[in-house]
Every structure is written in C-alpha cells, then in structure tokens.
Amino acid sequence: MANMNVRTPRFYVDTINYLMSRGVAQNGEFDVTATGGSGAAATRGIQTGSEIELFDMNPLNKVDFDTSGDTDSQVLITIDTQSASSKKNFIAILNHNLGTAVGKIRIFCGNEATDVTAVDSDNAETGDVDWSSMNAAEVVNADVIGDGGDADGGNAGRSLIVIPASDGSTIFKFDETNMRYWAIQFEGNTSASAEGRGDGTWGSTDLFVSNILIGEYFDAPHAPDMSVKRSIDFDKVKVLESTGGQRFSNMISHGRTSTATSKSPFTLGYPDYEGYGGRISYDMNFSFLNSNTVMPNRYESLVHTDDTVVSDVWNKTNGPHIPFIFSCDNGSTGTNAESEHIFARFAQNSLSMSQVSNDLWNVSLKIEEEF
C-alpha cells in the first residue's frame, strides 16, 4: 500500500442491491428494528430518513436514530439474502458516525430467520457460524475486532464485534459463509470492551448510518496490464467562452465532500479544502485470463460456487447499474487504506471479452468514482 499503486484489484459487490434490482422487495426482507434497551418505555427508532435509504447506494443520504434518548438501546438490521447458497465474506458501513456517537457493530447470522431476530445474538447458534474461528479482519476503519460473547451470557462465538476508530466508512472481511439470514446491530460502546455483550452505552450524539453493503468480494486473478490509465476528472467544471474570447467557468461540484458531520466514502480530510476533489477513474485491461475465471461454467442458471468476473461482478452489478467498492490493491488494509478504495461504478455498458489463445481471454474494464 503506497501512493495508490495498482496491484491486484478487488471488487466489493453488494448482495442487497442486486436482489432488489431483480425484484426482491425491501420491506420484509431488509428491515430495521430499534429497541428500547433495558427498562425503556419506548423504542428509539429512525428520526430522519427511512429503512430503504440505508440501502439506496447514496452514501451522503443519512439515516439517524434517537440513540441519545435511550443510551442502552440497540438498532437491529435484519437481512434475508434469499439463498442458503450465496456466499458472503464482507460487510461495509458507509458514512457513519460511530466514533462520535460512541458505538460499535455486532454481526451475527444463521440458516433460519429466527436466528437473527433477537438482539445481542441471543438466538444465534455457533453450530451455524462460530465467529471465534471466522478469521475476521479489518480492511478499513475496523480497528477493534473480537468475539462478541461474555461470561454471563454464554454467547461466546455467536457474534462478532467491530469497533471503528473514527467516523467515516468501515469495511471488514471474514471467512466465506453461505448463511442466508444476517443481523447487523449497532449498540453503544461507552465503558465496554470488544468482548462485551451489549454492556456499552451510547454517547450524547445520535447515531447515523448512510449505507450498508453485504456480499462477496472478488479478487482479480492477477494485476492488470502495465497500460493502466488512471484519471482524476473535474467533469463538473464547464468552461464557457464569450463572443469576445473571454473564458469563464462554472463548477457544479468539485467531487468528494466532507463536513463535520458527513463524509464521502473513504474521505478523511475536513473541511473540504483539506481533501482532494475530482472523480478518480481507472481504465485497465486484464490479459490471458483463464476462461473459467471470466465466464461461469453454466449460463442458464446462477451457480453460486462459480468465482468469475461475470458471475461475481458484472452480473451482480447489472453492468453500470449498481455501484460497488473498488480497491486498486487487495492487500491494502488498516491505517490509511482509505487511499486505495473508491465508491464506484462501471463506466461501460458492455463487457468486451477477446479470445487471444485457446481458453485464454483479454477483458477490459473502466471504473469511475461516484460523488
């Protein structure tokens, strides 16, 4: 990880948006429940925004919760991925304020809907997933990761705790699993440890979260050709010229934004003049890819065991339709790893594949950052 060098790229592709693009309803399948905490008379739910906006792939569109009104409350998001075969190995939370709100993330899953309906992973089973052996690891801003069990609850291994160091965006990965039902719980972290079972409390600032992604990342089989083109485009600047030859310009947007309470994905600088502008894009070609890395073995029906460009990336994004997280270096993790990640989409409607030898193909991709 250095100077945004292009190594082996990685694509973090969202399962939720893929399902919704193919007709799965949000309501009833991807739901939010805000609980009142111990002894609370009322639940603490969404104040501004709505459930669907947590999955709208607009990372500057915030949804906030009344966590300061009940500091031991939890926000539980349940996800039905519709299949006991589809693979998941990462979760990303974009544009959150878990640092300021003093919160942490709890993850649990199972093969039945009831496994994820109780807070603090009380219904989850280590027979489905034992998080103490799932090799969970930080990619971006997931500085503390631990087994979510505790001594009196008997929950060891039932959940995973992730504590971001700061506001912004968080990505963490884990061993591949095909569990169908998932829960992402946000809870307070004051006076709590990574091993705590909901023993923390929220701070005085309400929690907000902008986007949630869960799915399977895809690593390119090798680095792209040496002819990679990287651009930084100020494509929202329009230069006009008067009849007398005088030039003047209008800038609708300078690109990424950063305020005291909201940041574009993988932006750390604040205020805006402390960050970089423009839209980053990559134009790259991958040569001599094995055919079984490009196309699935069968094309008449989705086979979840296939790991190919088409099945795991191009099909799951519907080409340029759904944004994804792109890393130009899959080995870049931890401190300053934000530099190697962009929130992006394909800047092409067609995936061109050229056969150059027996069962070997060249594939070209153009990727553009989203503002």
DSSP 125-151: -TTT--GGGS--EEEES--EEEE---T
Q: What is the pLDDT of residue 151?
A: 40
Q: What is the pLDDT of residue 193?
A: 56
Q: What is the pLDDT of residue 40?
A: 43
pLDDT in tens, 160-219: 999 999 999 999 999 999 999 999 999 999 875 555 555 688 999 999 999 999 999 999
Categorize the per-residue pLDDT at 2 as very low, low, confident or very high, splitting at 50, 70 and 90.
Answer: low
Domain-by-domain residue ranges, the chain? 10-219, 229-369
Residue 327 has pLDDT above 90, yes or no: yes
Mean pLDDT over each residue of the chain, to the nearest integer = 91
CB 89 within 8 A of CB 176: yes
Amino acid in position 199: D
Token digits of residue 174: 């884990």
Residue 42 has pLDDT above 50, yes or no: no
Nearest CA to 369 among 314, 307, 316, 323?
323
**pTM for the complete prediction?**
0.94
Most confident option among 68-72, 220-224, 259-263, 275-279 = 220-224
Categorize the per-residue pLDDT at 352 as very low, low, confident or very high, splitting at 50, 70 and 90.
Answer: very high
CB 72 within 8 A of CB 38: yes
Residues present in the chain in total = 371
**Number of neighbours of residue 198 by Cβ within 10 angstroms:** 26
In whole angstroms, what is the distance from residue 248 CA to residue 104 CA? 48
In whole angstroms, what is the distance from residue 213 CA to residue 90 CA? 8
Q: Among 44-48, 74-78, 340-344, which stretch is predicted with the lowest mean pLDDT?
A: 44-48
Give the strand order in the sheet containing 144-147: 30-35, 74-80, 181-188, 103-110, 160-163, 144-147
The kind and range of the H/E element at 217 are strand 217-219
Q: What is the pLDDT of residue 163?
A: 94
Nearest CA to 271 among 282, 280, 262, 281?
262
Q: What is the pLDDT of residue 154?
A: 58
Higher pLDDT, 321 or 305: 321
Q: Which CATH architecture describes the domain 10-219?
A: Sandwich (2.60)
Q: What is the pLDDT of residue 33?
A: 82
In whole angstroms, what is the distance from residue 185 CA to residue 228 CA? 40
Q: Among 27-36, 168-177, 268-277, which stretch is predicted with the lowest mean pLDDT?
A: 27-36
Rounded average pLDDT over 217-230: 97
Per-residue DSSP letters for 275-307? Answer: S--BEEEEEEEEEEEEHHHHS-S-SSS--TT--
pLDDT in tens, 99-153: 999 999 999 999 999 999 998 899 999 999 999 999 999 999 999 998 766 544 5
Q: What is the pLDDT of residue 308?
A: 97
Token digits of residue 262: 């909201």
pLDDT in tens, 288-318: 999 999 999 999 998 899 999 999 999 999 9
Rounded average pLDDT over 247-269: 92
Q: What is the DSSP letter of 264?
A: -
Q: What is the pLDDT of residue 269?
A: 86
Coil, strand or helix at 272: helix
In whole angstroms, what is the distance from residue 84 CA to residue 181 CA? 9
Q: Which residue has the tokens 């709590």?
A: 192
CB 98 within 8 A of CB 187: no
pLDDT in tens, 58-82: 999 999 999 998 888 899 999 999 9
Residue 39 has pLDDT above 50, yes or no: no
